[in-house]
Amino acid sequence: MSFPKDFLWGSATSSYQIEGAWQEDGKGPNIWDVFSHTPGKVLNGDTGDVAIDHYHRYRDDVSLMADLGLQAYRFSFSWARIIPDGTGAIEKRGLDFYDRLIDALLEKNIHPMATLYHWDLPAVLQDKGGWTHRDSASWFADYSAVVHDAFSDRVKMWATLNEPWVSAFLGHGIGIHAPGIKDPVAAFAAAHHLLLGHGKAVQAMRAQSSDSQLGIVLNLAPVYLEGDAPDDHPAHTSVALHDAILNGLWTEPLLRSHYPDLLLQLGDVVTGNIKDGDLGIISEPIDWMGINYYQDIRFVPSDVTPSADPMNPPGTDLPGTVGVEPAPAIGNVTSFGWSTTPDGLRALLVTLDGEYDNLPPIFITENGCAYDYPVEDGVVNDTLRVTYMHEHLTALLEAIKEGVDVRGYMHWSLFDNFEWAEGYRQRFGMVHVDFDTQVRTPKQSALFYARVIADNGLPSA
């Protein structure tokens, strides 16, 4: 049950979810500050104002990572901390925070893995249209160049975007994430500009240094239709569209320089954003690809009105929602209501590997689960998280044995933290955080993970 030599073991977080210090040292507001301060958007009115106060506690947090034996730490930069207005003037105190963090990691021999954008767009840029504005691609590339220039001497692994599907479709399509827009047209525009921004950022960083390892982090998953739907039922088209929007919309332009035909058939909503030369920029070669995997996606057919067209659903529904509903959750269902489907990770990786000759080396950049266990006598006995890790690492090992080039695994998350629209309710951490006192308590899963890292493999039981 051993992993390949030099396999990289780590854990992941993101700026808005842990840093707090939302108005400190010149940081500008970002779209999550605005969204979480808007009544009704986040459960219980929770915000990231304080979060887990990592901005002030980073040194202790890094020591804790070292105690667990982490070899890598995936974190993200807060754009509005570094360039408060989104473009233009640089806030040195913002850069200084990351400078201290990176040095603290390196002192402990922990490899920094940086993400440039984990959803916290400077609010001023949203006022100009955010990712629906074509210039967002250049705003992002310019910001990326500033950060890369500051840290590429010490940070070797860079991801441009985290889960652009979420930014585009949860942020602009159904609006449950910042900036809270419900408009499929905006969602596809954001998707294209995110991809274009990725490509432009890769070009800008490549020009600065040739030894940086540049990549992108995608949330991909197998999409299935279960149950019996007659051949002419729209569920078939809807599920194919779901798959195309979740997976192909990202992998095809990035690795094959074109959009999936099924999406091009949607017409202007997709094609209207694409200009000559864009796909060449988007498919700029990358050195690695990050995959975030939580569960596979399963649908069952549902009743539909006879005229319903899956390509053009009524109202503000996204294409791919007609005639389907989510299948009931299976496995050790998490507190979020998510299924646990470890074999989906193996299936996803093996399918991608078969599909793309030019698939870059893969890092699992997120994988994890929300379960709520109390601290009892200083112990958090989160057995279901240990099971989740064990099952998913076993599936990962199977994919590696089937020939997929996977180079590392980052568990989501190191700490309980601000889980977006769910506020502090969903606890994904291997380390429990008391949100009143900020006391950190490693859970049993953290101790299990420390053993996995030390052995570079899984215990056989």
Catalytic machinery residues: 163, 366
Q: Which of 366, 400, 443, 452 binds ligand FCB (CB under 6 A)?
A: 366
428 lines the binding site for ligand FCB (CB under 6 A): yes
Q: Cβ–Cβ contacts within 10 Å for residue 359, how many?
A: 16
Helix, strand and coil in the chain, % to nearest 5:
40, 15, 45
Comparing CB distances to ligand FCB, the nearer of 91 and 366 is 366
Binding segment for ligand FCB (CB under 6 A), chosen from 102-110, 160-168, 319-327, 352-360, is 160-168
Strands 297-301 and 324-326 come out as: antiparallel
Comparing CB distances to ligand FCB, the nearer of 46 and 419 is 419
Q: Which of 14, 36, 339, 445 binds ligand FCB (CB under 6 A)?
A: 14
At which residue do the structure tokens 């399509």 appear? 173
Largest CA distance in the chain: 64
Taking the complex as a whole, how short is the minimal distance between the CB of residue 16 and ligand FCB, in angstroms? 9
Residues in CB range of 296: below 8 A, 6 or more apart? 221, 222, 223, 224, 339, 341, 344, 347, 348
Amino acid at the residue 438? Q
Residues in CB range of 257: below 8 A, 6 or more apart? 279, 280, 282, 283
Q: Which of 253, 419, 431, 433 binds ligand FCB (CB under 6 A)?
A: 419
Comparing CB distances to ligand FCB, the nearer of 50 and 166 is 166
Site string for ligand FCB, 211-230 (x = CB under 6 A): --------x-----------
3-state class (DSSP) for residue 132:
helix
Comparing CB distances to ligand FCB, the nearer of 48 and 442 is 48
Comparing CB distances to ligand FCB, the nearer of 144 and 365 is 365
DSSP states along 381-417: --HHHHHHHHHHHHHHHHHHHTT--EEEEEEE-SB--
Binding segment for ligand FCB (CB under 6 A), chosen from 158-166, 277-285, 304-312, 345-353, is 158-166
Q: Which of 19, 163, 382, 416 binds ligand FCB (CB under 6 A)?
A: 163
Quick one: which of 3, 67, 8, 5 has its CA closest to 409? Answer: 8
Find the helix or strand (DSSP H, E) in which 223 lies: strand 223-225
Q: What is the footprint of ligand FCB within residues 164-183 (CB under 6 A)?
A: 166
By residue count, the chain amounts to 461
Q: What is the footprint of ligand FCB within residues 397-416 (CB under 6 A)?
A: 412
At which residue do the structure tokens 């754009």 appear? 79
Q: Which of 15, 144, 162, 212 binds ligand FCB (CB under 6 A)?
A: 162
Q: Which of 420, 424, 448, 449 binds ligand FCB (CB under 6 A)?
A: 420
- Say how far apart CA 461 and CA 365 lie, in whole Å: 26
Question: Before 442, cis peptide (omega within 30)?
Answer: no
Comparing CB distances to ligand FCB, the nearer of 47 and 219 is 219
291-to-49, 57, 336 alpha-carbon distances in Å: 29, 28, 20
Beta bridge partner(s), residue 73: 11, 112
Size of the site for ligand FCB (CB under 6 A): 12
Q: Which of 132, 136, 292, 341 binds ligand FCB (CB under 6 A)?
A: 292
Q: Residue 57 in contact with residue 93, Cβ under 8 Å?
A: no
Q: What is the footprint of ligand FCB within residues 27-86 (CB under 6 A)?
A: none
445 lines the binding site for ligand FCB (CB under 6 A): no
Binding segment for ligand FCB (CB under 6 A), chosen from 46-54, 121-129, 161-169, 230-238, is 161-169
19 lines the binding site for ligand FCB (CB under 6 A): no
Taking the complex as a whole, how short is the minimal distance between the CB of residue 413 and ligand FCB, in angstroms? 7
Question: Before 14, cis peptide (omega within 30)?
Answer: no
Comparing CB distances to ligand FCB, the nearer of 166 and 308 is 166
Taking the complex as a whole, how short is the minimal distance between the CB of residue 338 and ligand FCB, in angstroms? 9
Residues that bind ligand FCB (CB under 6 A): 14, 17, 162-163, 166, 219, 292, 366, 412, 419-420, 428
